């Protein structure tokens, strides 16, 4: 892929993540009756970015998404978003590099990392470790949500990659 094509694709994925993130916060899922828990649809844009535009490109998708949340939903939400986004990206980059895992596994690990980092950020912001009381529930939900987005990623990414002329 040429550098220009890569940059354009990266910008498109930033836009997709912003749209998915906005869409998701506008439609609270009745299935997940857990405070603050969402499907993590915007992670689809990040997981797509890793194989297609590389580590730096996917980092920019995470940064743009968090910046949007910072501007629209405030500093606290912005800090929560960037903490979750960075740890989950780091985990996904590592797992893709190990090359032993499928999209479902990478996505579940990423969702669990995202939730854990957010709770850690919340604990630091609040000065109170008690935020971890529902950690187990967030972990269980990250299996469900991660599996769903993982299947979506596994269905979408390979044909998208071929269409774009990626390896």
Binding residues for other proteins (CB under 8 A): 33, 35-36, 50-52, 54, 74, 76-77, 80, 95-97, 99-105, 108-109, 112, 122, 125-128, 130-131, 133-137, 139-140, 142-143, 150-151, 154-155, 157-158, 161-162, 166-167
**Phi/psi class of residue 127: alpha, beta or left (left: φ > 0; alpha: ψ in -120 to 50)?**
left
Nearest distance from C-beta of residue 119 to other proteins, angstroms? 9
- The DSSP-derived string for 73-126 is H-HHHHHHHHHHHHHHHHHHHHHHHHT---HHHHHHHHHHHHHHHHHHHHHHHH
- Cα separation, 28 vs 133, in Å, equals 22
Q: State which residue, 57 or 64, has the beta carbon closest to other proteins.
A: 57
Q: State which residue, 23 or 28, has the beta carbon closest to other proteins.
A: 28
Nearest distance from C-beta of residue 64 to other proteins, angstroms? 21
Nearest distance from C-beta of residue 128 to other proteins, angstroms? 5
Extract the tokens encoding 113: 């990392």
CB atoms under 10 Å from CB of 101, counted, come to 16
Q: State which residue, 4 or 75, has the beta carbon closest to other proteins.
A: 75
Nearest distance from C-beta of residue 89 to other proteins, angstroms? 14
Nearest distance from C-beta of residue 162 to other proteins, angstroms? 8
Extract the tokens encoding 62: 């995470």
Q: How far is CA 104 from CA 4, 69, 73, 78, 110, in A?
A: 30, 26, 30, 27, 10
């Amino acid at each position: 892929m040429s550098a220009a094509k890569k940059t354009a694709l990266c910008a498109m994925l930033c836009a997709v993540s912003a749209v998915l993130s906005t869409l998701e916060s506008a439609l609270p899922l009745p299935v997940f009756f857990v405070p603050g828990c969402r499907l993590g649809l915007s992670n689809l844009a990040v997981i797509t970015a890793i194989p297609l535009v590389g580590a730096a490109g996917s980092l920019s998708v995470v940064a743009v998404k968090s910046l949007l949340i910072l501007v629209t939903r405030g500093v606290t939400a912005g800090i929560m978003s960037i903490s979750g986004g960075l740890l989950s990206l780091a985990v996904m980059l590592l797992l893709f590099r190990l090359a032993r895992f499928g999209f479902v596994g990478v996505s579940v690990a990423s969702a669990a990392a995202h939730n854990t980092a957010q709770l850690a950020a919340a604990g630091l912001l609040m000065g109170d470790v008690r935020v971890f009381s529902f950690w187990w529930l967030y972990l269980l939900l990250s299996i469900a949500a991660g599996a769903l987005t993982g299947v979506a990623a596994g269905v979408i990414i390979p044909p998208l990659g071929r269409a774009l002329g990626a390896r």
